Chain A
Amino acid sequence: MTTTIGAPLNRIDARLKVTGAARYSAEMPVKNVAHAVLIQSTIANGRIADIDTAAAEQSPGVLLVMTHRNAPKLGGKQKSVQQPGEDYPLLQDDAIHYNGQHIGVLVAETFEAATHAARLVTVRYDEDKSVVRLGQVLDKLAVPQHFRGGARLPDSSRGNPDQEFVAAPVKIDQTYQTPIEHHNPLEPHAVIAVWTGDELVVFHSSQSVAGSHKTIAGHLGISDDKVRTVSHFIGGGFGSKGSTWPHVTIAAMAARIVNRPVKLVLTRRQMYTSNGFRPQTRQHLRLGADRDGRLIALRHDSLSHTASFGEWVEPCGLSTEIMYSCPNLGVSHRVAPTDTGIPTFMRAPGEASGMFALESAMDELAEALAIDPLELRLRNYAEQDEHEKLPWSSKSLKQCYERGAAAFGWNKRERQPGSMRNGDLFVGWGMASATYPMNRSKASATVRLQADGRAIVQCATQDIGTGTYTIIAQVAADAIGLPVERVTVQIGDSNFPEAPVSGGSQTAASVTPAVDAASRDIRKQLVDLATTGSFKGLRSEDLDVVDGAVVVKSDPSRRAEIGTLLAGRDALTATKGAEPGDEKKQFSMHSFGAHFVEVHVDPELGEVRVARYVGAFAAGRVLNAKTARSQIIGGIVYGLGMALTEETDLDHRSGRVLNGNIAEYLVPVHADVPDIEVILIEEQDPHVNPLGVKGMGELPMVGVAGAVANAVFHATGKRIRYLPIRPDKLLRTA
């Protein structure tokens, strides 16, 4: 039987997406829907002294203006969005924690009536002083209390990094900075809340339907099973839709009061104050090496900021712990509160910012030693995880370096910065490493095989654009023995068997083992059935399922169709769970990759354009070569934005987001992106999970900004240590 796993299959949901038939949350056909618009604060810190809703309430078509004065008091004890101890604003009091915080919601008959009336609400504040930038709170930095949800300590060290750094013959001692960035999925967060009696259906754009319905229930103080979250299509998330943010619950509260379904779609501007962001970081890197470039000491000390009402720490140093071989290594994380919203996971949280710093510093070390940057990395290759002191389950970074470098032509690189030209443009070649941990959580799935020969898979996972629908179909088809066209996939519904958040690149690694297990069970049931029916007298071992029929192994011409075998029955059904064991105690599990980039820099005007890109990645088994390649390209493009253009501008006095749109918050456009050559290196890794999958969502973004910064240095001799690398910084830097 030919396997479909790994094949570059077109997405099974592609047709719906190219015809406009795929329905995203705000597009679910709900009758009699009323339109809600959020009202947000215009100061960063203080209290609401007075809020006047009279004009809004009298505006035509308005059904409800809900503020902390009239909002239902929530019975939920756990109001947390992401961390214990966090008390997120849900219209429960008059406190203002940041500019753009929700202070009310207005519901009207039409979108037009609602958006205007929401502006008629006037607020008088008792305003307190506010601080909104990391640079303003450096004296308030503290040891995080909930680092990684308490799963580990914020600091680690091995050997004696401080002393050995002082003694090292070659040193790099630099600080790198990254700005606030916003996810900006193209689909804004959207909710339609529908109550029927005391039961609630919430259509909303969520990276975690299974988590979402519990969070909403928790907010409302009702039982989990009274809430159902549905999210068939998600127009991108990148971490912003991983948590269930307050607007979802607020929409549900409003719907209850107006006794109608309520639709609430965030405006693009509100997307900057309603669903987290990647926080500003300052990272102090100290690298000590011997004259051959071997690392002797390495310290990575990271600062980031969080909200005043909850702690979220950008874990910049975790990749550093495992990336290179170094006997003396220290990592720390400190955090301070600002009067901003709370940061959150944004594609490769920690790794993206942290590896910009580490990979820039490695490039600086290579320059200091006059060693080729790739050669420097090979000299410091980590043959095992020196942090956990465990062997790798698999690691193909050397192949990534080799094949990436060969495809790029890295050996033709002139070492001296500023020595390569394309006409009047300066040419720079830069490289960087990539790494991301293999994450996996418990998941379950149900498979039903029908008499018509079709299988239906149900799982409360979701497809945020990564291709989950398609890989589930491939895995189920293979495990049962069906053509992939005969598999229907139903996901994005909290009523289905539970699966984790689509975050941390864990969906494939978590969900496909469960789908595989349930599908194998179906196959077994089918074969067993055959031994009591069509192939009475034969043993299960004598039979196989091929192309949707049970066949006799020794004589494949003897076949029984599923319809025949299931005659008189409705279907075969199996639900299976799959979860990680203690394999992480025996192996360290990470994916790796290498970036090679060519930039062209106009030396007078400071324009940087990416001319060429090669990325080589190894992340276990590839389930679909086409969608995996797309994920890699997408991650690189996301990284190019981080490197060159993206920064959220806050007014430093008011904390107001100034470029809260996508005209002035600059994500890459077509013209910014060259051809990207992708090299996928397959790994056979029996340790990570039954399918050998590591996950590909975040890995390719890690290291992009470093590779670009290194290429810019190679082109110009200018080292930009504060993202993004825009013309003004190149002009200002000597």
Chain B
Amino acid sequence: MYPFTYVRGDDRQAAVALAAEPGTEFLAGGTDMLQLLKDEVRRPRRLVEITSLSGMSEISSGPQGLRLGALARMADVADHPAVRDEYPVISQALLASASPQVRNMATIGGNLLQRTRCAYFRDTAMPCNRREPGSGCSAIDGENRLHAVLGGSDHCIATHASDLAVALVACDAVVVVTGPSGEQRIKLEDLHLLPGETPEKETVLQPGDLITAVEVPPLAFARRSLYRKVRDRASFEFALAAAAVALDIDGGTIRQARVALGGVGTKPWRSHEAEKALTGAKLETASFEKAAAAALAAARPLHQNGFKIILAQRTLIRALLTVGA
């Protein structure tokens, strides 16, 4: 780890002011940050610990929908009765993430901002545009079985790792951000950026911006939602492909749908294409297959990850079949 000083933030505004200074980063659950510090992928000179900031750990639900404090721990959110009953997709995505220990530590805000698992990104001995702009992407011609088939560019094809973000983006979640310039609300779908020509720029957040909460609007049919994750081993692994789905069903017809994909995109991948295909469609396998084809229509395979196109489609179909049953 690069040498840093450690400060405990007791006051939200003071923490934000500190973090706006160059070389300063927030530290919350630390489960991704500590790994990045150890690998010297991140090299802050100062860490501002924010876990003791007040008013940021609460989980509440009501007519306004669900509000998750950014410092709420993954395990607590997964187990919260309102989340389990009203947004099962969120609870399931959380329980399919990491390990029980990590879920006791990691926060909701930190989860959304976790960095890619791309091996080239996490190894400072290898070129990586995301870590070191202009150094080149090692994955495009390298080992890319685990890389993204959606949203990649000639500069970066790193997969976004979060399961939670996939579930939340399907639920139209909004992140509440406090920063040097005040408070703003950003649709989660707009928080992460495609790599394009500037993969080093991962989100729209500015220095000092702090996610304080995630709000999920009321979505009655989210009770009929599901997260399906496919991986090489049975647990404690990132996704090869995952699907977050919610269906609003009227008899044999789909009134509306929410679809997002994980493990295949350079950001949490909301698929409006799939949703459009499902809206008004009959509740039957053919509709799901059409939606899956639409979701992956823009997919670009590399030499090792082409299987993800089929796998993601099948995962999505399976999720829709399960939730539609």
Direct contact of A and B (CB under 8 A): yes
Contact A605 B145 (CB under 8 A): no
- Which residues of A are found within 8 Å of B126, using beta-carbon distances? 651, 654, 656
Interface stretch (choices A112-120, A469-477, A503-511): A112-120
- Which residues of B are found within 8 Å of A670, using beta-carbon distances? 235
Measured CA separation A656–B138 after assembly (Å): 11
Interface stretch (choices A22-30, A457-465, A487-495, A726-734): A726-734
Measured CA separation A653–B126 after assembly (Å): 11
Does residue B142 face the partner (Cβ distance < 8 Å to A)?
Answer: yes
Measured CA separation A671–B317 after assembly (Å): 25
Measured CA separation A709–B240 after assembly (Å): 21
Does residue B57 face the partner (Cβ distance < 8 Å to A)?
Answer: no
Contact B311 A605 (CB under 8 A): yes
Contact B233 A645 (CB under 8 A): yes
Contact B1 A668 (CB under 8 A): no
Which of A656, A659, A669, A731 touches B236 (beta carbons < 8 Å)?
Answer: A669
Measured CA separation A679–B233 after assembly (Å): 27
Digitize B84-97: 1 where CB-to-A-CB distance is under 8 Å, 0 elsewhere: 00000000000000
Contact B311 A727 (CB under 8 A): yes
Does residue A658 face the partner (Cβ distance < 8 Å to B)?
Answer: yes
Which of B3, B307, B317, B318 touches A728 (beta carbons < 8 Å)?
Answer: B307
Which of B238, B307, B317 touches A732 (beta carbons < 8 Å)?
Answer: B307
Chain A binding surface SS class: loop
- Which residues of B are found within 8 Å of A60, using beta-carbon distances? 3
Most buried by B among A115, A650, A656: A656
Beyond A656-B123, A656-B125, A669-B235, whether A731 also contacts B142 by CB under 8 A is: no
Measured CA separation A726–B236 after assembly (Å): 16
Contact B1 A112 (CB under 8 A): yes
Measured CA separation A541–B3 after assembly (Å): 75
Q: What residue of chain A has the Cβ atom nearest to residue B236's Cβ? A: A669
Q: What residue of chain A has the Cβ atom nearest to residue B3's Cβ? A: A116
Q: What residue of chain B has the Cβ atom nearest to residue A725's Cβ? A: B232
Digitize A638-654: 1 where CB-to-B-CB distance is under 8 Å, 0 elsewhere: 00000011000111111
- Which residues of A are found within 8 Å of B117, using beta-carbon distances? 663-664
Which of A609, A672, A731 touches B311 (beta carbons < 8 Å)?
Answer: A731
Contact B232 A726 (CB under 8 A): yes
Contact A666 B237 (CB under 8 A): yes
Does residue A528 face the partner (Cβ distance < 8 Å to B)?
Answer: no
- Which residues of A are found within 8 Å of B238, using beta-carbon distances? 663-664
Contact A649 B314 (CB under 8 A): no
- Which residues of A are found within 8 Å of B38, using beta-carbon distances? 115
Nearest Cβ on chain B to A667's Cβ, whole angstroms: 8
Measured CA separation A307–B79 after assembly (Å): 51
Does residue B205 face the partner (Cβ distance < 8 Å to A)?
Answer: no
Contact A664 B119 (CB under 8 A): yes
CB neighbors of A among B210-239 (8 A): 230, 232-238
Measured CA separation A646–B314 after assembly (Å): 24
- Which residues of B are found within 8 Å of A609, using beta-carbon distances? 234
Does residue A555 face the partner (Cβ distance < 8 Å to B)?
Answer: no
Does residue B6 face the partner (Cβ distance < 8 Å to A)?
Answer: no
Beyond A604-B318, A658-B143, A664-B117, whether A727 also contacts B123 by CB under 8 A is: no
Contact B235 A728 (CB under 8 A): no
Does residue A109 face the partner (Cβ distance < 8 Å to B)?
Answer: no
Contact B230 A727 (CB under 8 A): yes
Contact B240 A728 (CB under 8 A): yes
Contact A651 B318 (CB under 8 A): no
Contact B307 A731 (CB under 8 A): yes
Measured CA separation A606–B234 after assembly (Å): 12
Does residue B310 face the partner (Cβ distance < 8 Å to A)?
Answer: yes
Which of B125, B142, B318 touches A605 (beta carbons < 8 Å)?
Answer: B318
Nearest Cβ on chain B to A397's Cβ, whole angstroms: 32
Contact B125 A644 (CB under 8 A): no
Does residue A607 face the partner (Cβ distance < 8 Å to B)?
Answer: yes
Does residue A540 face the partner (Cβ distance < 8 Å to B)?
Answer: no
Q: What residue of chain A has the Cβ atom nearest to residue B146's Cβ? A: A664
Nearest Cβ on chain B to A360's Cβ, whole angstroms: 20
Contact B310 A652 (CB under 8 A): no
Does residue B315 face the partner (Cβ distance < 8 Å to A)?
Answer: yes
Q: What residue of chain B has the Cβ atom nearest to residue A43's Cβ? A: B125
- Which residues of B are found within 8 Å of A441, using beta-carbon distances? none
Q: What residue of chain B has the Cβ atom nearest to residue A99's Cβ? A: B125
- Which residues of B are found within 8 Å of A724, using beta-carbon distances? 232
Which of A649, A650, A666 touches B233 (beta carbons < 8 Å)?
Answer: A666
Digitize B103-143: 1 where CB-to-A-CB distance is under 8 Å, 0 elsewhere: 00000000000000101100111100000000000100111
Does residue B250 face the partner (Cβ distance < 8 Å to A)?
Answer: no
Most buried by B among A115, A645, A727: A727
Q: What residue of chain B has the Cβ atom nearest to residue A732's Cβ? A: B307
- Which residues of B are found within 8 Å of A726, using beta-carbon distances? 232
Beyond A116-B2, A652-B143, whether A605 also contacts B119 by CB under 8 A is: no
Contact A659 B235 (CB under 8 A): no
Does residue A42 face the partner (Cβ distance < 8 Å to B)?
Answer: yes
Measured CA separation A385–B117 after assembly (Å): 51
Does residue B40 face the partner (Cβ distance < 8 Å to A)?
Answer: yes
Measured CA separation A656–B123 after assembly (Å): 9
Contact A652 B318 (CB under 8 A): no
CB neighbors of B among A323-342 (8 A): none
Q: What residue of chain B has the Cβ atom nearest to residue A672's Cβ? A: B234
Measured CA separation A116–B1 after assembly (Å): 5
- Which residues of A are found within 8 Å of B138, using beta-carbon distances? 651
Beyond A116-B3, A119-B40, A606-B311, whether A649 also contacts B235 by CB under 8 A is: no
Contact B307 A669 (CB under 8 A): no
Nearest Cβ on chain A to B63's Cβ, whole angstroms: 38
Measured CA separation A119–B2 after assembly (Å): 9
- Which residues of A are found within 8 Å of B240, using beta-carbon distances? 727-728
Contact A651 B143 (CB under 8 A): yes
Measured CA separation A650–B240 after assembly (Å): 19
Contact B234 A669 (CB under 8 A): yes
- Which residues of B are found within 8 Å of A42, using beta-carbon distances? 125
- Which residues of B are found within 8 Å of A727, using beta-carbon distances? 230, 232, 240, 307, 311
Contact B234 A671 (CB under 8 A): yes
Contact B307 A672 (CB under 8 A): no
Measured CA separation A731–B146 after assembly (Å): 15
Q: What residue of chain A has the Cβ atom nearest to residue B311's Cβ? A: A731
- Which residues of A are found within 8 Å of B146, using beta-carbon distances? 664
Measured CA separation A670–B230 after assembly (Å): 17
Digitize A90-124: 1 where CB-to-B-CB distance is under 8 Å, 0 elsewhere: 00000000000000000000001001100100000
Contact A651 B233 (CB under 8 A): no
Contact A671 B235 (CB under 8 A): yes
Measured CA separation A672–B315 after assembly (Å): 20
Contact A668 B311 (CB under 8 A): no
Measured CA separation A669–B98 after assembly (Å): 12
Nearest Cβ on chain A to B64's Cβ, whole angstroms: 37
Contact B119 A652 (CB under 8 A): no
Measured CA separation A605–B319 after assembly (Å): 11
Most buried by A among B40, B141, B143, B145: B143
- Which residues of B are found within 8 Å of A607, using beta-carbon distances? 230
CB neighbors of A among B136-156 (8 A): 138, 141-143, 145-146
Which of B119, B120, B124, B233 touches A669 (beta carbons < 8 Å)?
Answer: B233
Which of A649, A663, A671 touches B143 (beta carbons < 8 Å)?
Answer: A649
- Which residues of B are found within 8 Å of A605, using beta-carbon distances? 230, 311, 314-315, 318
Measured CA separation A658–B117 after assembly (Å): 11
Contact A651 B142 (CB under 8 A): yes
- Which residues of B are found within 8 Å of A650, using beta-carbon distances? 143
Q: What residue of chain A has the Cβ atom nearest to residue B99's Cβ? A: A669
Nearest Cβ on chain A to B205's Cβ, whole angstroms: 26
16 other contacts beyond A604-B317, A651-B143, A656-B126, with CB at 8 A cut-off?
A60-B3, A115-B1, A116-B3, A604-B314, A604-B318, A605-B314, A605-B315, A644-B233, A645-B232, A664-B119, A664-B146, A666-B233, A669-B235, A727-B240, A728-B145, A731-B311
* A-B residue pairs in contact (CB < 8 Å), sample of 22: A42-B125, A60-B3, A112-B1, A119-B40, A605-B311, A605-B315, A609-B234, A650-B143, A651-B120, A651-B126, A653-B142, A656-B126, A663-B238, A664-B146, A668-B233, A669-B233, A669-B235, A669-B236, A672-B235, A726-B232, A728-B307, A728-B311
